[in-house]
Amino acid sequence: MTEARRYTATEILAILSSRQLTDGQVVFAGVGIPLLAATLAQKLRCPGLTILFEGGVVGAFVEPGKLPPSTNDQRCTKRANMVLGSAEVLLLLQRGYVDVGFMGGAQIDQYGNLNSSFIGDPAKPKIRLPGSGGGNDISSLTNMIVAMKHEKRRFVEQVDFITSPGFIRGGKTRAESGLPAGGMFRVITELAVFGFDEETRRMTVLALNPGVSREEVQDNTGFELAFSPSATVTEPPTDHELATLRSIDPDRLFTA
Protein backbone atom coordinates (compact mmCIF):
# COMPACT_ATOMS: atom_id res chain seq x y z
CA MET A 1 0.00 0.00 0.00
CA THR A 2 1.41 3.40 -0.93
CA GLU A 3 1.82 6.13 1.67
CA ALA A 4 -1.03 8.21 0.22
CA ARG A 5 -3.47 5.27 0.44
CA ARG A 6 -2.82 4.52 4.09
CA TYR A 7 -5.23 7.22 5.20
CA THR A 8 -8.22 9.18 3.97
CA ALA A 9 -8.26 12.92 3.28
CA THR A 10 -10.32 13.42 6.42
CA GLU A 11 -7.85 11.44 8.53
CA ILE A 12 -4.89 13.54 7.44
CA LEU A 13 -6.95 16.68 8.17
CA ALA A 14 -7.61 15.50 11.71
CA ILE A 15 -4.04 14.35 12.38
CA LEU A 16 -2.28 17.42 10.99
CA SER A 17 -4.73 19.65 12.86
CA SER A 18 -4.09 17.82 16.12
CA ARG A 19 -0.38 18.54 15.78
CA GLN A 20 -1.10 22.29 15.94
CA LEU A 21 -2.35 22.03 19.52
CA THR A 22 -0.13 22.12 22.60
CA ASP A 23 -0.54 20.88 26.15
CA GLY A 24 -2.19 23.31 28.56
CA GLN A 25 -4.17 25.19 25.91
CA VAL A 26 -7.89 25.87 26.05
CA VAL A 27 -9.50 25.12 22.68
CA PHE A 28 -13.01 26.02 21.55
CA ALA A 29 -13.89 23.16 19.20
CA GLY A 30 -16.73 22.46 16.82
CA VAL A 31 -17.95 18.95 16.02
CA GLY A 32 -16.47 16.83 13.26
CA ILE A 33 -12.81 17.36 12.37
CA PRO A 34 -12.15 19.98 15.11
CA LEU A 35 -13.43 17.66 17.83
CA LEU A 36 -11.58 14.66 16.39
CA ALA A 37 -8.34 16.63 16.25
CA ALA A 38 -8.69 18.03 19.77
CA THR A 39 -9.55 14.61 21.21
CA LEU A 40 -6.62 13.01 19.34
CA ALA A 41 -4.21 15.64 20.67
CA GLN A 42 -5.56 15.11 24.19
CA LYS A 43 -4.95 11.38 24.00
CA LEU A 44 -1.54 11.44 22.32
CA ARG A 45 0.37 14.51 23.49
CA CYS A 46 -1.74 16.98 25.42
CA PRO A 47 -3.37 15.50 28.54
CA GLY A 48 -3.80 19.03 29.89
CA LEU A 49 -5.74 20.28 26.85
CA THR A 50 -9.13 21.72 27.84
CA ILE A 51 -11.90 21.37 25.24
CA LEU A 52 -14.85 23.79 25.24
CA PHE A 53 -18.12 23.37 23.35
CA GLU A 54 -20.55 26.05 22.28
CA GLY A 55 -23.30 24.16 24.10
CA GLY A 56 -21.64 25.13 27.41
CA VAL A 57 -19.41 22.15 28.21
CA VAL A 58 -16.03 23.03 29.72
CA GLY A 59 -13.38 20.30 29.82
CA ALA A 60 -15.19 17.83 27.59
CA PHE A 61 -13.93 14.25 27.56
CA VAL A 62 -14.93 12.17 24.54
CA GLU A 63 -15.14 8.42 24.96
CA PRO A 64 -13.89 6.35 22.01
CA GLY A 65 -16.76 5.35 19.78
CA LYS A 66 -19.13 7.90 21.33
CA LEU A 67 -18.48 11.04 19.33
CA PRO A 68 -21.30 13.55 19.81
CA PRO A 69 -23.13 14.64 16.64
CA SER A 70 -23.55 18.17 18.02
CA THR A 71 -22.09 20.38 20.74
CA ASN A 72 -25.42 20.20 22.61
CA ASP A 73 -25.36 16.41 22.91
CA GLN A 74 -25.49 15.17 26.51
CA ARG A 75 -22.63 12.76 25.83
CA CYS A 76 -20.42 15.86 25.84
CA THR A 77 -21.08 16.38 29.54
CA LYS A 78 -19.81 13.05 30.88
CA ARG A 79 -16.66 13.61 32.98
CA ALA A 80 -16.60 17.29 31.96
CA ASN A 81 -15.27 19.89 34.40
CA MET A 82 -18.49 21.91 34.31
CA VAL A 83 -21.52 22.70 32.19
CA LEU A 84 -22.52 26.33 31.62
CA GLY A 85 -25.13 28.07 29.53
CA SER A 86 -24.17 29.02 25.98
CA ALA A 87 -23.91 32.71 26.91
CA GLU A 88 -21.60 31.96 29.83
CA VAL A 89 -19.23 29.80 27.79
CA LEU A 90 -19.03 32.51 25.11
CA LEU A 91 -18.20 35.03 27.84
CA LEU A 92 -15.05 32.99 28.50
CA LEU A 93 -13.91 34.11 25.03
CA GLN A 94 -14.45 37.76 25.90
CA ARG A 95 -12.53 37.36 29.14
CA GLY A 96 -9.52 35.99 27.29
CA TYR A 97 -9.62 32.48 28.74
CA VAL A 98 -9.58 30.66 25.37
CA ASP A 99 -6.35 30.17 23.44
CA VAL A 100 -7.49 28.56 20.20
CA GLY A 101 -10.68 28.45 18.17
CA PHE A 102 -11.10 25.48 15.88
CA MET A 103 -13.72 25.09 13.14
CA GLY A 104 -14.43 24.71 9.42
CA GLY A 105 -16.29 26.69 6.80
CA ALA A 106 -17.82 26.57 3.34
CA GLN A 107 -15.55 29.30 1.92
CA ILE A 108 -12.26 30.87 2.96
CA ASP A 109 -10.42 33.69 1.24
CA GLN A 110 -6.82 34.86 0.94
CA TYR A 111 -7.03 36.75 4.26
CA GLY A 112 -8.60 33.90 6.21
CA ASN A 113 -12.17 35.23 6.33
CA LEU A 114 -14.70 32.40 6.62
CA ASN A 115 -18.18 32.13 5.13
CA SER A 116 -20.76 29.77 6.58
CA SER A 117 -23.82 31.92 5.79
CA PHE A 118 -24.70 31.74 2.09
CA ILE A 119 -23.27 31.37 -1.42
CA GLY A 120 -24.18 33.85 -4.14
CA ASP A 121 -26.22 37.06 -4.17
CA PRO A 122 -27.39 37.91 -0.62
CA ALA A 123 -30.79 38.95 -2.01
CA LYS A 124 -31.22 35.60 -3.74
CA PRO A 125 -28.51 33.15 -2.60
CA LYS A 126 -27.77 29.97 -4.52
CA ILE A 127 -27.13 28.07 -1.29
CA ARG A 128 -28.09 28.84 2.30
CA LEU A 129 -25.62 27.60 4.90
CA PRO A 130 -25.99 27.02 8.66
CA GLY A 131 -24.90 30.54 9.63
CA SER A 132 -22.66 31.82 12.38
CA GLY A 133 -23.71 30.22 15.65
CA GLY A 134 -20.72 31.05 17.84
CA GLY A 135 -18.38 31.20 14.85
CA ASN A 136 -18.11 34.98 14.78
CA ASP A 137 -17.40 35.15 18.51
CA ILE A 138 -14.73 32.47 18.26
CA SER A 139 -12.91 33.95 15.25
CA SER A 140 -13.12 37.48 16.66
CA LEU A 141 -11.52 36.60 19.98
CA THR A 142 -9.06 33.72 19.48
CA ASN A 143 -6.25 32.45 17.30
CA MET A 144 -8.02 30.28 14.75
CA ILE A 145 -7.28 26.88 13.24
CA VAL A 146 -9.44 25.94 10.26
CA ALA A 147 -9.64 22.43 8.79
CA MET A 148 -11.40 22.03 5.45
CA LYS A 149 -11.33 20.19 2.13
CA HIS A 150 -9.22 21.92 -0.51
CA GLU A 151 -11.29 22.91 -3.53
CA LYS A 152 -11.19 25.98 -5.79
CA ARG A 153 -14.85 26.73 -5.02
CA ARG A 154 -13.98 26.84 -1.31
CA PHE A 155 -10.68 28.74 -1.54
CA VAL A 156 -11.85 31.98 -3.13
CA GLU A 157 -10.31 35.41 -3.60
CA GLN A 158 -13.12 37.03 -1.64
CA VAL A 159 -15.81 35.23 0.37
CA ASP A 160 -19.44 35.97 -0.50
CA PHE A 161 -20.05 36.93 3.12
CA ILE A 162 -17.76 37.28 6.15
CA THR A 163 -19.39 35.12 8.80
CA SER A 164 -16.22 34.72 10.84
CA PRO A 165 -13.49 37.36 10.37
CA GLY A 166 -9.90 36.51 9.60
CA PHE A 167 -7.63 39.40 8.70
CA ILE A 168 -10.47 41.24 6.85
CA ARG A 169 -8.64 42.95 3.93
CA GLY A 170 -5.11 42.20 5.08
CA GLY A 171 -2.48 44.34 6.70
CA LYS A 172 -3.79 46.07 9.84
CA THR A 173 -7.45 46.02 8.82
CA ARG A 174 -8.44 43.47 11.48
CA ALA A 175 -7.22 45.72 14.30
CA GLU A 176 -8.63 48.78 12.57
CA SER A 177 -12.02 47.03 12.47
CA GLY A 178 -12.01 46.74 16.27
CA LEU A 179 -10.42 43.29 16.66
CA PRO A 180 -6.95 43.93 18.10
CA ALA A 181 -6.26 40.34 19.16
CA GLY A 182 -6.48 36.92 17.55
CA GLY A 183 -6.76 36.11 13.88
CA MET A 184 -6.08 33.15 11.64
CA PHE A 185 -3.24 30.94 12.84
CA ARG A 186 -3.35 27.88 10.58
CA VAL A 187 -5.45 26.42 7.76
CA ILE A 188 -5.14 22.66 7.29
CA THR A 189 -6.23 20.83 4.15
CA GLU A 190 -5.54 17.44 2.59
CA LEU A 191 -3.02 19.20 0.32
CA ALA A 192 -1.05 21.55 2.58
CA VAL A 193 -0.64 23.51 5.80
CA PHE A 194 -1.04 27.28 5.58
CA GLY A 195 -0.13 30.25 7.74
CA PHE A 196 -0.51 33.99 7.21
CA ASP A 197 2.21 36.52 6.40
CA GLU A 198 2.97 38.76 9.39
CA GLU A 199 2.72 41.97 7.34
CA THR A 200 0.34 41.38 4.43
CA ARG A 201 -1.74 38.76 6.30
CA ARG A 202 -2.17 36.81 3.07
CA MET A 203 -2.41 33.04 3.13
CA THR A 204 1.00 31.39 2.74
CA VAL A 205 1.92 27.74 2.17
CA LEU A 206 4.09 26.55 5.05
CA ALA A 207 4.23 22.86 4.14
CA LEU A 208 3.00 20.55 1.40
CA ASN A 209 1.53 17.19 2.31
CA PRO A 210 3.32 14.06 1.08
CA GLY A 211 3.08 13.57 -2.69
CA VAL A 212 1.51 17.00 -3.31
CA SER A 213 3.12 19.50 -5.70
CA ARG A 214 2.98 23.30 -5.64
CA GLU A 215 1.11 23.20 -8.93
CA GLU A 216 -1.60 20.93 -7.49
CA VAL A 217 -2.19 23.26 -4.55
CA GLN A 218 -2.33 26.33 -6.78
CA ASP A 219 -4.62 24.64 -9.31
CA ASN A 220 -7.14 23.95 -6.53
CA THR A 221 -7.04 27.52 -5.17
CA GLY A 222 -9.05 30.47 -6.50
CA PHE A 223 -6.38 33.08 -5.77
CA GLU A 224 -2.63 33.35 -6.14
CA LEU A 225 -0.85 31.63 -3.28
CA ALA A 226 2.35 32.71 -1.60
CA PHE A 227 4.86 30.01 -0.70
CA SER A 228 7.13 30.39 2.30
CA PRO A 229 10.85 30.32 1.36
CA SER A 230 11.25 27.68 4.05
CA ALA A 231 8.24 25.58 2.99
CA THR A 232 8.69 21.93 3.91
CA VAL A 233 6.83 18.63 3.55
CA THR A 234 4.63 17.49 6.43
CA GLU A 235 5.43 14.28 8.24
CA PRO A 236 2.90 11.64 7.16
CA PRO A 237 0.52 10.22 9.76
CA THR A 238 2.15 7.58 11.93
CA ASP A 239 0.65 4.15 12.55
CA HIS A 240 0.05 5.15 16.17
CA GLU A 241 -1.77 8.36 15.18
CA LEU A 242 -3.96 6.47 12.71
CA ALA A 243 -4.76 3.67 15.16
CA THR A 244 -5.68 6.13 17.92
CA LEU A 245 -7.82 8.23 15.58
CA ARG A 246 -9.67 5.15 14.33
CA SER A 247 -10.30 4.01 17.90
CA ILE A 248 -11.94 7.39 18.60
CA ASP A 249 -14.15 7.08 15.52
CA PRO A 250 -14.44 3.32 14.87
CA ASP A 251 -17.63 3.68 12.85
CA ARG A 252 -15.99 6.25 10.54
CA LEU A 253 -18.72 8.81 11.18
CA PHE A 254 -16.28 11.65 10.46
CA THR A 255 -13.20 9.99 8.95
CA ALA A 256 -14.60 8.02 6.00
Catalytic residue annotation: 54
Separation of alpha carbons 30 and 28, rounded Å = 7
Separation of alpha carbons 123 and 43, rounded Å = 46
Buried b (16+ CB within 10 A) or exposed e, 128-160: ebeebbbbbbbbbbbbbbbbbebeeebbbeebb
Q: How deeply is 219 buried, as exposed, middle or buried, from its count of CB atoms within 10 A (0-12, 13-18, 19+)?
A: exposed
Separation of alpha carbons 14 and 7, rounded Å = 11
